[in-house]
Amino acid sequence: MFIPATNVRGLAAAEVRRQIAAMQEIRRDQPQPLLWIATDQEGGDVARLSPPLSRPPRISEILAHNPNLADRIAAVRQSAREQSRELADLGVNLNFAPVVDVDHGLINPEDWYTHIHQRAISNSYCDGLHEAGVHCTLKHFPGLGRVFADTHRGGASLDVSPHELEQTDWVPFRALMARPDAFTMLGHVTLTTIDREQPVSFSRAVVASLLRGHWHYDGVLVTDDFSMEAVYRSRAGIAEAAIAAINAGVDLVLVSYDADQYYAVMHGLLAAQRDGRLQPEALRQSDERLSRAAGTLTRPHPRDTGLSSSR
């Protein structure tokens, strides 16, 4: 479950905590694995739970105030540690951060939402989150630092060879994707040197062949928001894109900004399951990855909820 700002507007932290705890209590009673409770709490402008939580600083600002490398690493880790305590206290166990896109200095005045040049941050962020049991998310593969267009508003292309990306933009992804506490988020840019037709988030050539195949990556893959126009207005459409993503080896499809699109995605997936269009082996492998990740979750303790653990 993803929590955007609209879900917490006007609520105190205690109320958000109670709502999350109540949902986890239902999972215990079923019994089912704990829910992944995710949010976007990068810092600066991208802090979906601020308020009610304090607004963390943009990590690039922390780096600017600490010219020494060792001080930078310590300051980023401390900031992430403080964020993690607040998130874990609410019951959030997955943060869609950090941005590990390499900053190539592109600034598009028509880029309303992405602002990669302000959000690229240090790798030490995940360490701070991990201390309170919050998983991090590396985003946005294959790296948006070279991409001028904004995928919130339409399609975008990345016309760079895999060899060059291996030497630059993919270095932080390759360095961090082995972490058991890290998810990887797939962006909606089209990596034309591998797949000229489909965005990365539902490209079989990128997900199945490159990441799952050539890289042997067996961690959890989550898409960026499928409500973004690069997917919603793509040739495939949002439902077919979701089917393609799952079959390619994606584990979680995010639908956030336009919640109504959830119904189109679920209708398409259920119909594909009924018609035999969802690949059983892809589903089995995804179940294994999600179960393995869920096994690392810390079971939250009821607090200020009015609920007991054995209701």
Below-70 pLDDT ranges, the chain:
101-123, 298-311
Look at residue 183 and tell me if it is in a domain: yes
What is the token pair recorded at 96?
A: 């869609």
d(CA 263, CA 242) in angstroms, rounded, equals: 12
Considering only CA atoms, which of 303, 244, 310 is closest in space to residue 21?
A: 303
pLDDT of residue 38: 97
Q: Does 64 map to a domain?
A: yes
Take residue 97 and report the two structure tokens written for it. 């951060």
Q: Where are the beta strands (DSSP E) in 128-177?
A: 136-141, 157-158
167 occurs within a structural domain: yes
Q: Quick check: is 306 in a domain?
A: no
Q: What is the pLDDT of residue 120?
A: 44
Q: Provide the percentage of residues in the chain whose pLDDT is more than 70.
A: 88
Rg (alpha carbons) of the chain, rounded to whole number: 19
Residue from 40, 127, 195, 224 carrying the catalytic annotation:
224
Specify the pLDDT at position 305: 38
Residue 122 CA from chain centroid, whole number: 17
- Cα 90 to its chain centre, rounded Å, is 18
Say if residues 49 and 8 touch (Cβ distance below 8 Å): yes
CB 207 within 8 A of CB 250: yes
Is 310 a member of any domain? no
Mark whether 152 is an active-site residue: yes
Phi then psi for residue 28, to 5 deg, are -60, -40
Measure Cα distances from 286 to 181, 261, 264, 292 in Å.
16, 23, 21, 10
CB of 96 within 8 A of CB of 39? Answer: yes
Q: Among 169, 285, 141, which Cα is nearest to 219's? A: 285
pLDDT, position 63 = 83
CATH code, domain with 33: 3.20.20.300
Q: Structure tokens of 29?
A: 């009673």
Query: How far, rounded to the nearest angstrom, does the alpha carbon of residue 227 sit from its chain's CA centroid?
Result: 14
Hey, how many other C-beta atoms are within 10 angstroms of the C-beta on 123? 17
pTM for the complete prediction?
Answer: 0.88
* pLDDT score of 44: 86
Question: What residue spans of 143-279 are helical by DSSP H?
Answer: 162-167, 171-176, 204, 229-232, 238-248, 261-274
Supply the pLDDT for residue 157.
95
In a domain, 304, yes or no: no
**pLDDT tens for each residue of 140-160:** 999 988 887 889 888 999 999
Alpha-carbon gap, residue 23 to 95, rounded angstroms: 18
What CA–CA distance (Å, rounded) separates 216 from 146?
A: 25
Q: Which of the following is catalytic: 152, 188, 195, 251? A: 152
Strand order in the sheet with 136-141: 136-141, 182-186, 221-223
Domain membership flag for residue 32: yes
| Mean of the per-residue pLDDT values of the chain | 88
The answer as to whether 46 is a domain residue is: yes
Q: How many domains does the structure of the chain reveal?
A: 1
The answer to whether the CB of 159 falls within 8 A of the CB of 195 is: no
Query: Is 65 assigned a catalytic role?
Result: no
Instruction: Tally DSSP H helices, then E strands, for the chain.
Output: 13, 9
Residue numbers of the domain that contains 257: 5-294
